[in-house]
Amino acid sequence: MTPSGRRTPVLRGLDFTVDPGEVVGLFGRSGSGKSTLLRVLNGLTPWLVPAEVTGGIELGGEPLDDLDPGQRAHLLGSCLDRPEAQLFLPTVRQELGAAKRLYGKSRDQGPVEERLGVGPLLDRRVVDLSSGERQRVALAAALLAAPRPVVLDEPTAHLDCGGAAALAEVMADVSVAGGAVIAAEHSGWRLGSAVNRWMELEDGRLDRGDPPAPPAISPPEHQPGDCVVFEARGLSVTAGGRRLFEPINLEIREGEIVVLSGDNGVGKSTLAQVMAGHAAADCGSCHGPGNRRPALMMPEAELQLFASTVEGELRACDAPIGEVARVLRRHRLEALAARTPWSLSRGERQRLVHAAHDVLQPRVLIIDEPAQGLDGQDVVDFMELVVRRAARGRAYLIITHRTELAAAAHRHLRLSQNGLEEVSR
């Protein structure tokens, strides 16, 4: 399979079968073609994403090649790597109702929406949901297709620990009922034994592999400085008509790395937007030296990319040509310099936004879900870079459900409705 505009194939002569009752996990380096493979299965490629595709796909012995995505939709469920891109109706109840009409009568799974914690969200507006809540809704809608085959792209990316455990349970139930799941997932350990077989995609080919293990992240050797570079006092936020958490106080010091975790929907991303000055608080104040706000890297990388090429994104940050080349190499982007950001994989776009902030060198940087789309080695490389930069005086607040990242932090905080609490090591 060769995408339009590329000379070399992303996928090369793949030949594999998924049997009823199997849950197959896909992993590989960022940009290896996992999302592309899933888009070929559900028909988005080549029907909507131009590419030259050879070979054939069969479902239950019947060919799918002549069916467009709409015609395939009732035959298999899909959850994309951007859940918000497949949620179109005003409320969660309407989204799940549409999925039930699409798939007709399917096996009672408990029901799926309750198992994934979507029940309390049914009458909420989709636009008011957090990224993790939207992911739960999109997963519930896709898994309603079971026991039809279901393809999932990075299904745990925005899920808290409880959400990932619930997803693993639903996938295991689908397997027992004779359904099939194909899931591309960098954080395979979060799905536990729900996955029957892991396949690694490398150089366009699939081979059986061991389950992905958590990345080994080293702690920082330096201690934070005495200078406070960010301070919040009595900060409280309301979103969607509800108060998210009790007033919080927070200080971040020069060279300090702070990891912030919390359940889906508790308000972590909203807090980050308030801290960066992108949203208003109900009460309280936050500021840095000279009333400067932190820079914010949002979880949606595509919302922060504007240039026509990867190199152009870094040139737009007023970096010298030599520095641009060094940063491209540092973030494994040198071979993609002439590509448009919109043609990159999710992980490649994430690395590009990381690279742009690496050029800008803000004194305080808030990073919301930095590991999404990144393979294990990319995560290790990124956290090592954070530690090196922090040792030179930069400060970081890292918002993540990936608690293994806390190994590189000086402090691990957890946000709940009661405010902030420190997580003991």
pLDDT digits (tens, 9 = 90+) for 362-382: 999 999 999 988 999 999 999
2-208 folds as: Rossmann fold (3.40.50)
Residue with tokens 């789309």: 373
Confidence at residue 35, expressed as pLDDT on a 0 to 100 scale:
92
Intrachain domains 2-208 and 228-422 with the same fold: yes
Confidence at residue 4, expressed as pLDDT on a 0 to 100 scale:
54
Residues 6+ apart with CB under 8 A from 16: 199, 206
Cβ distance 386 to 366 under 8 Å?
A: no
DSSP state of 161: H
Its CATH architecture, for the domain 228-422, is 3-Layer(aba) Sandwich (3.40)
Helix axis angle for 321-330 and 346-360, nearest 10°, is 140
Cα distances from 318 to residues 192, 361, 386, in angstroms, run 45, 12, 21
Confidence at residue 82, expressed as pLDDT on a 0 to 100 scale:
85
Residue closest to 271 by CA, chosen among 238, 228, 229: 238
Q: How many CB atoms lie within 10 A of CB 295?
A: 15
Strands (E) in 222-298, as ranges, are 228-236, 238-239, 242-243, 248-253, 257-262, 283-287, 295-297
Q: How many CA atoms lie within 13 A of 92 on its CB side?
A: 24
Confidence at residue 107, expressed as pLDDT on a 0 to 100 scale:
55
Confidence at residue 6, expressed as pLDDT on a 0 to 100 scale:
57
Confidence at residue 2, expressed as pLDDT on a 0 to 100 scale:
58
Give me the residues of the chain with pLDDT under 70, please.
Answer: 1-7, 105-110
* Domain-wise residue ranges, the chain: 2-208, 228-422
Confidence at residue 223, expressed as pLDDT on a 0 to 100 scale:
97
